[in-house]
Amino acid sequence: MASNNQLDTKSQAWSALFSEPMSELVKRYTASVFFDKRLSSADIRGSLAHAEMLAAVGCISGEDLASIQRGLAQIQAEIEAGEFEWQLDLEDVHLNIEARLTQLVGDAGKRLHTGRSRNDQVATDIRLWLRDEIDLIVDLLKDLQLALVEVAERNVDVILPGFTHLQVAQPVSFAHHLLAYVEMFSRDTERMLDVRARTNRLPLGSAALAGTTYPLDRERVARTLGMVDAQGQPQLCQNSLDAVSDRDFAIEFTSAASLVMVHISRLSEELILWMSQNFGFVKIADRFTTGSSIMPQKKNPDVPELARGKTGRVVGHLMGLITLMKGQPLAYNKDNQEDKEPLFDTVDTLKDTLRIFAEMVGGQTNAAGQKEGGIAVNADAMRAAAQKGYATATDLADYLVKKGLPFRDAHEVVAHAVKTAQVQGLDLSELSLETLQGFDARIEADVFGPLSLEGSMGARATIGGTAPSQIAEQLKRHRARLG
Ligand code: ARG
């Protein structure tokens, strides 16, 4: 016969109220233990903080607290050793741990759930778990930024064509190009830290939905769990209905993660293009590529391609989570159990992708403490590409403007010059001074400076421009920021 105080009889029925046991299919359909056991450490940490507070406010005795602590320590050890027996019958990570605790320490285990519900428990667990994952992700974002900065430092004077519409536009430094991604990943880091602040708030004490009749000290629990702001002030969810039900922090996180993946996907697309025979700008180490089963000459950029593909997967999780929330009335609904798998997969995919990219871009540290095996740059191929497509045409227009011609007129003059050069199969810098002067008499011998790739690049020295002097400033700023 089912009893209402024995968790391990739940497979029969929840309590005396239920007249029949759950069917096997329903049990499988509703259980989450095989994926939410991943929250076990967070669950135990939350339980320890809750129990310590229950003892401090006099809801449980000191002996009960000691028993709970002992039991939970043993459970943690069993889980780490792979010896814990997870039971589908016990539905989720919370009931599995609580049942085992009661088995180990008796009544003290049954007192742990005083003033608590699985609703505020699970919301706390996910927040704790995600907060720590965000910290790891922020570190990985830093590693990737550092890898990009290192490659940039070696390639300030390497020129490649900058594109708009994937048409040659103006010459830019390869370092400048890489630092564009550093900016993206730096904003991604800001977003992650911003999400972290809203994730790191305590739901516990909200109980099932309305709060609890016990005199719980929520601020104490928040402090114990490190749910504090920069000033050390405890951060509590301030409305119990909201605390147990909303998963907006998980949606925000997945949105921030999607943006990281989108940035990685853009970089991937460039690497794939740059590695193609038609560009030949870079090579990545062989271990990030694969061969073809039929074409012996192939080295395919699988890692960037997969990263581009996995971006769809993470964006899909964002769609899943945000749709999960839509239409849920207050307060907790079982729908929310579906938040975990997309969230876990987002974290796993993002962390693996960041790790692999940091190594693919920056290389590995060898025995001598130097990095090797990062992306290899073919500066000649980049330069040759920059010399095609009249990348310095704007510079000729700017030259004429500085000699007094209105910009629109200068634009027109240069269009004629480009047309003539195209017919002759020459670059603008290869036209003779006489030919150039035929387009505008103001042109003098000093025009060849701006018409060179170096001249063009070096002249763009506004803050954020591609001039080496400006890149040096940016590199200094990033180094100071990243260490
Ligand atoms: N496994 C559940 C989840 O992930 C825990 C909360 C269950 N609460 C409930 N009232 N059934 O959301």
**% of the chain with per-residue pLDDT over 70:** 97
Residue 479 counted as domain residue: no
Contact in structure between 249 and 199 (CB atoms under 8 Å): yes
Q: Are residues 126 and 108 in the same domain?
A: no
Q: φ, ψ for residue 406 (rounded to 5)?
A: -60, 145
Ligand 1 mean position to 122 CA, how many Å? 7
If one counts the domains in the chain, the total is 3
- Model pLDDT, residue 14: 73
Q: Are residues 110 and 131 in the same domain?
A: no
Q: What is the pLDDT of residues 107-153, one digit of tens each?
A: 999 999 999 999 999 999 999 999 999 999 999 999 999 999 999 99
Q: Are residues 289 and 327 in the same domain?
A: yes
Residue after which a domain boundary falls, among 372, 405, 436: 372
CATH assignment of the domain containing 70: 1.10.275.10
Ligand 1 mean position to 118 CA, how many Å? 6
Question: Annotated catalytic, 40?
Answer: no
**Residue bearing the CA closest to ligand 1, atom 12:** 337
Query: Which ligand 1 atom is nearest residue 208's CA?
Result: 10
Q: Are residues 300 and 416 in the same domain?
A: no
Alpha-carbon span 285 to 236, nearest angstrom: 48
Alpha-carbon span 373 to 283, nearest angstrom: 10
Question: Annotated catalytic, 165?
Answer: yes
Residue 301 is which amino acid? P
Ligand 1 mean position to 392 CA, how many Å? 63
Q: Which two tokens stand for residue 476?
A: 């200094």
Q: What is the pLDDT of residues 231-288, one digit of tens each?
A: 999 999 999 999 999 999 999 999 999 999 999 999 999 999 999 999 999 999 999 9
Residues 97/103/104/109 CA torsion (nearest 10 deg): 70
Q: Which two tokens stand for residue 209?
A: 């939905």
Q: Are residues 325 and 437 in the same domain?
A: no
Q: Are residues 368 and 393 in the same domain?
A: no
Where in 248-390 does DSSP place strands (E)? Answer: 282-283, 364-365, 371-372, 376-377
Report whether pLDDT(169) > 80. Answer: yes
Place of tokens 């697309």: 269
Report the pLDDT averaged over residues 187-195: 98
Q: Are residues 218 and 309 in the same domain?
A: yes
Residue 5 counted as domain residue: no
Task: Specify the pTM.
Answer: 0.95
Nearest alpha carbon to residue 244 among 204, 214, 216, 199: 204
Q: Which one of 7, 27, 122, 335 would you pick to mutate in the ligand 1 pocket, going by the greatest count of ligand atoms within 8 A of its CB?
A: 122
Residue 132 counted as domain residue: yes
Q: Which of 3, 15, 276, 292 is catalytic?
A: 292
Q: Measured from the CB, is residue 96 less than 6 Å from ligand 1?
A: no
Q: What is the pLDDT of residues 375-417, one digit of tens each?
A: 999 999 999 999 999 999 999 999 999 999 999 999 999 999 9
Ligand 1 mean position to 315 CA, how many Å? 25
- Model pLDDT, residue 2: 37
CATH assignment of the domain containing 434: 1.10.40.30
Residue 148 counted as domain residue: yes
Q: Measured from the CB, is residue 10 less than 6 Å from ligand 1?
A: no
Residue 257 is which amino acid? A
Q: Are residues 183 and 91 in the same domain?
A: no
Contact in structure between 332 and 245 (CB atoms under 8 Å): yes
Q: Measured from the CB, is residue 43 less than 6 Å from ligand 1?
A: no
Q: What is the pLDDT of residues 55-100, one digit of tens each?
A: 999 999 999 999 999 999 999 999 999 999 999 999 999 999 999 9
Q: Are residues 443 and 341 in the same domain?
A: no
- Model pLDDT, residue 227: 98
Query: Which ligand 1 atom is nearest residue 332's CA?
Result: 10
Q: Give the confidence band of 15 by pLDDT, cuts at 50, 70, 90.
A: confident
Q: Measured from the CB, is residue 263 less than 6 Å from ligand 1?
A: no
Alpha-carbon span 117 to 128, nearest angstrom: 17
- What region, left, alpha or beta, does residue 171 occupy, with left being phi > 0 and alpha being psi -120 to 50 degrees? beta
- Model pLDDT, residue 12: 55
Q: Give the confidence band of 371 by pLDDT, cuts at 50, 70, 90.
A: confident
Q: Are residues 306 and 359 in the same domain?
A: yes
- Model pLDDT, residue 55: 98
Q: Are residues 203 and 91 in the same domain?
A: no
Q: φ, ψ for residue 287 (rounded to 5)?
A: -70, -10
Please tell me whether the peptide bond between 331 and the residue prior to it is cis, using omega within 30 degrees of 0.
yes
Residue after which a domain boundary falls, among 95, 114, 133: 114
Domain that holds residue 107: 15-114
Residue 387 is which amino acid? Q
Q: Are residues 140 and 232 in the same domain?
A: yes
Q: Which residues contact residue 399 at a Cβ distance below 8 angstroms, ignoring those fewer than 6 apart? A: 443, 447, 450
**Residue bearing the CA closest to ligand 1, atom 3:** 337
Largest CA distance in the chain: 104
Residue 194 counted as domain residue: yes
Long-range contacts of 100-104, Cβ-Cβ distance < 8 Å, separation of 24 or more: 100/71, 100/75, 101/68, 101/71, 101/72, 101/75, 102/7, 103/8, 104/70, 104/71, 104/74, 104/75
Q: Measured from the CB, is residue 121 less than 6 Å from ligand 1?
A: no
Residue after which a domain boundary falls, among 65, 99, 114: 114
Alpha-carbon span 221 to 319, nearest angstrom: 33
- Return the H-helix or E-strand segment holding 173: strand 167-173
